[in-house]
Chains A and B, each alone.
Chain A
Amino acid sequence: AQSVAQPEDQVNVAEGNPLTVKCTYSVSGNPYLFWYVQYPNRGLQFLLKYITGDNLVKGSYGFEAEFNKSQTSFHLKKPSALVSDSALYFCAVKPGGSYIPTFGRGTSLIVHP
């Protein structure tokens, strides 16, 4: 069975500072990894994905994530946080060839002015 862990319920960072939102996973076979963002009163929006290739993937709004196979991690990063980045972030994983993703519990990112 696949699983996703987001070890931090909340991450606080000052505007302009780099941010990291952590995600580790467990899955059989090659993983498809995703990050989504949810703004208040909105549905989830796709940010980026890793399927194969370069371990560093770039996505929307200046976010990037690094796939680390040995540590089974897929941390979300941004070099300089904005107040408008404050939202709920979800990591998700599914095995290649499967239609069934598993989501983490979400991490609330708060960027302080």
Chain B
Amino acid sequence: EAQVTQNPRYLITVTGKKLTVTCSQNMNHEYMSWYRQDPGLGLRQIYYSMNVEVTDKGDVPEGYKVSRKEKRNFPLILESPSPNQTSLYFCASSLGGEQYFGPGTRLTVT
């Protein structure tokens, strides 16, 4: 089954404790991206990648890092999480047209 998977689905952590949210797709898509969804703000792009070893900032990259060492994986790294990064995070992949989204990761930073 073609899909985008994210782990974990739910995470509660404390300020400053490094964390990684994994994202994997099995559709051989070149393009992958990370979004955060906040009430009243819709989806905002954090980072995107157009292929292996090619990443670029989206609209709200501050406080986040990504890597694209393999085509299928695109982890999101929060080196020192803060409470304003409490949000719902989505990974997505695409061939350049419509995007396929993962199920989301709900992150709470206390």
Contact B42 A104 (CB under 8 A): yes
Helix, strand, loop or mixed for chain B's interface?
Answer: strand
Residues of B within 8 A of A (CB-CB), count: 24
Interface size class of A (residues with CB under 8 A): 10 to 19
Contact A43 B43 (CB under 8 A): no
- Cβ of B50: which chain A residues have Cβ within 8 Å of it? 99
Fill in one digit per residue for B1-20: 1 if any A CB lies within 8 Å of its CB, else 0: 00010000000000000000
Contact B43 A103 (CB under 8 A): yes
Contact B97 A49 (CB under 8 A): yes
How many A-B contacts if CB must be within 8 Å?
48
Indicate if A51 sits at the interface (CB-CB under 8 A). yes
- Cβ of B44: which chain A residues have Cβ within 8 Å of it? 103
Residues of A near any B CB (own CB < 8 A): 32, 34, 36, 41-46, 49, 51, 90, 99-101, 103-106
- Cβ of B70: which chain A residues have Cβ within 8 Å of it? none
- Cβ of A36: which chain B residues have Cβ within 8 Å of it? 99, 101
- Select one of A42, A49, A100, A106 contacting B98, CB under 8 A: A49
